[in-house]
Amino acid sequence: MFKFQKVFLFVLVLFLAACSSDYAPKPRGFFRIDLPKKSYENYSSGCNYSFKIPTYAAVWNDSSQHTNECWKNVVFPTINGRVHLSYYPVTSPKLLIELMENARKLAFKHTVKADGIDESRINNPKHHVYGLYYEISGNTASSIQFFVTDSSKHFLRGALYFYTEPQADSLAPLIQFVKKDIDVMLESLEWK
């Protein structure tokens, strides 16, 4: 019996000592992401376009099927994202209309999961760059898509992807961070 009293007293002391701290459960959180500093360098492809890219990004050739040498990926390795770029030479007005309609369809394919799609115009007469920019909100695979053209010879389509499960609230800081880089890329885009 004496042994039971000692164990009971020991457990009671531990219980009372544990209750004296100011412990509060912490909410579930995510790891903090240290974003790189913004600086840009010129990128000139062997194709008919050039633009500025962030210094922490790299440009790789697209190795998937049905591509050509002018399809590129602007890769952000530190944040596991990339912008897929598809370039097409425009040979006729009919082809340009088909390419623009296809880009619109690809952007609006995300309506199943999207909360909304904001469409804005891209208009840079200095460099003859015109097009549409789609910001897709919600838990979608791609949150930013765009296409640009000079209306006669060149067409470039882009789509931002992060290689993780789409969670809009968790990806929001990364999307806003890369959106600024895409804006710089589009503002500096020049046709050759």
Q: What does pLDDT average to in each consecutive run of 10 residues of the chain (192 residues)? A: 74 69 67 84 90 95 83 92 95 96 93 89 95 93 94 95 84 91 96 91
CB 113 within 8 A of CB 139: yes
- Alpha-carbon dihedral sign for residues 40, 131, 84, 30: positive
Q: What CATH fold (topology level) applies to the domain 52-191? A: Protein Transport Mog1p; Chain A (3.40.1000)
pTM of the model: 0.81
Distance CA 160, CA 183 (A): 12
State the DSSP code for 76. E
Rounded to whole angstroms, the Cα distance separating 56 from 88 reads 27
pLDDT at residue number 30: 62
3-state DSSP assignment of residue 71: coil
Q: Give the separation between CA 55 and CA 73, rounded to whole angstroms.
A: 15
**Residue extents of the structural domains in the chain:** 52-191
pLDDT at 54: 96
List residues bridging with 50 in a β-sheet: 44, 190
